[in-house]
Amino acid sequence: MKKYLILALPVLVASAACTKVEVQDTVEQAVTFNVVNYLHQTRAYNAYSTEDTFGTFAFFTQTDWETDGDGTVFIENEEVLYGPSYAEGEWGTATRYFWPKTAKLTFASYSPYVDAASAASKGFSAVPTYTKRDGFAFPRYKIVPETDVDLMVADLTTDQTANLSEYAVSSNTQGVPTLFRHQLTQVAVVFRSTENANPNVTGSEIVVKDVWLSNIRNEGSYTQNSDPVWSDQSGEVVYDFNPGGQLVLTEPGRDYYPSVRSRILLPQPLVRGYGFTQGQQLNVVFSIRSVFEDGRTVDGDEITSTVDLYSLDIPDWLPNMSVVYTITIDAVSQDPITFDPAIAEWSLTSAGNLTI
């Protein structure tokens, strides 16, 4: 018998007519950004890629963010890029802004930056908005197939009056402290095989022909200050981790990764299927090739195994969570061959009567 085992983050934003505040007293220092992203599993900081850009909102307050209501919009969805003309080697908005002299700024940032023209290509149904009550809102956000867009939101940076050097991950530059956290879930798959203990068998090759996740929700609405932040998930999508190839496990105990090592997917509760909705599942197709000491090779039948994700150790995919499903395939069962002996009764057959 062949066996497998699976072991298993009361005012809306002002309209375009009043998106900028006229500030007469300024310090001659441009607003720049000190930006990193956050890895939940290691609690470490990584530098934000200089190839990417993010969007930012800033609000002008005379006293502070807590007491001045919603503040007045100072920057509204401006693109922040690395090395603008006025800030070589630093992060700054495409439009140059200066620090106010007698007021404070509060910053809310998200990644990746989108405008009306690029929103749909990156999964947004509309340009993001920010309000003090809701935080960022991304209605009907959708995972874009095969792109692995990493949706992130930065911690709110309140009551700033000048550039700081808080993170300085990639350099010693100063700027608005901008710490991004992942709002999607990273899901990875890894394979292992176990030791084959049978005499006369020199080894087993496990041939993984495909592995995929099915019935995965790929669309939902995000509200930063809600609990949970994701709601109204929908979709039943298949995500293939080994398209068009085979993965051969030859060394027991070694980790093998499919051609797609990980995917960035929508956070969602993992549920049992019901009604017209199917529960999320992990599916594996594999076969086992046994190699004997006399040189013979025997290919076993193809096996398809399906596991309900809700039955494993992780009940929900959460924002900023990296999930690794380790799939251990046993070439043989864990049960040794034993015997159940018995002796059949004699079969009594009469040869007839013999008289001497």
Q: What is the CATH number of domain 25-182?
A: 2.60.40.2620
Question: Can you tell me the distance from the alpha carbon of 43 to that of 339, in angstroms, rounded to the nearest whole number?
Answer: 54
Residue 240 pLDDT level (bands cut at 50, 70, 90)? very high
Residue of higher predicted confidence among 351 and 117: 117
Residue of higher predicted confidence among 217 and 16: 217
Per-residue pLDDT, averaged over 266-282, amounts to: 86
Question: Can you tell me the distance from the alpha carbon of 267 to that of 152, in angstroms, rounded to the nearest whole number?
Answer: 13
Per-residue pLDDT, averaged over 225-247, amounts to: 93
Per-residue pLDDT, averaged over 262-280, amounts to: 87
Per-residue pLDDT, averaged over 10-39, amounts to: 52
Give percent of the chain with pLDDT exceeding 90.
Answer: 59
Residue 8 pLDDT level (bands cut at 50, 70, 90)? very low
Q: In this model, does residue 28 exceed pLDDT 90?
A: no
Average pLDDT, the chain: 85
For residues 131 and 1, the answer to whether their CB atoms sit within 8 Å is no
For residues 286 and 210, the answer to whether their CB atoms sit within 8 Å is no
Please tell me the least confidently modeled range out of 80-94, 164-178, 245-259: 164-178
Q: In this model, does residue 196 exceed pLDDT 60?
A: yes
Please write down the HEC assignment for all residues of the chain. Answer: CCEEEEECCCCCCCCHHHCCCCCCCEEEEECEEEEEEEECCCCEEEECCCCCCEEEEEEEECCCCCCCCCCEEEEEEEEEEECCCCCCCCEEECCCCEEECCCEEEEEEEECCCCCCCCHHHCCCCCCEEECCCEEEEEEEECCCCCCCCCEEECCEEEECCCECCCCCCCCCCEEEEEEEECCEEEEEEEEECCCCCCCEEEEEEEEEEEEEEEECCEEEEECCCCCCEEEEECCEEEECCCCCCEEECCCCCCECCCCCEEEECCEECCCCECCECCCEEEEEEEEEEEECCCCEEECCCEEEEEEHHHCCCCEECCCCEEEEEEEEECCCCCCCCCCCCCCCCCCCCCCCCCC
Residue 127 pLDDT level (bands cut at 50, 70, 90)? very high
Residue 310 pLDDT level (bands cut at 50, 70, 90)? very high
Per-residue pLDDT, averaged over 62-85, amounts to: 92
For residues 317 and 240, the answer to whether their CB atoms sit within 8 Å is no
Please tell me the least confidently modeled range out of 4-13, 139-148, 156-165: 4-13
Confidence at residue 231, expressed as pLDDT on a 0 to 100 scale = 96
Q: In this model, does residue 233 exceed pLDDT 80?
A: yes
Confidence at residue 94, expressed as pLDDT on a 0 to 100 scale = 93
Residue 296 pLDDT level (bands cut at 50, 70, 90)? confident
Question: Can you tell me the distance from the alpha carbon of 236 to that of 238, in angstroms, rounded to the nearest whole number?
Answer: 7
Confidence at residue 88, expressed as pLDDT on a 0 to 100 scale = 87
Closest CA to 122 of 133, 134, 114: 114
User: Long-range pairs for 229-233 at CB < 8 Å and ≥24 separation?
Assistant: 229/183, 229/267, 229/319, 230/266, 230/267, 230/268, 230/319, 233/266, 233/268
Domains 25-182 and 185-330 share a fold: yes
Confidence at residue 165, expressed as pLDDT on a 0 to 100 scale = 75
Residue 42 pLDDT level (bands cut at 50, 70, 90)? low
| Annotated domain spans of the chain | 25-182, 185-330
Residue 10 pLDDT level (bands cut at 50, 70, 90)? very low
Which token pair is 141? Answer: 């956000």
The answer to whether domain 185-330 has CATH 1.10.12 is no
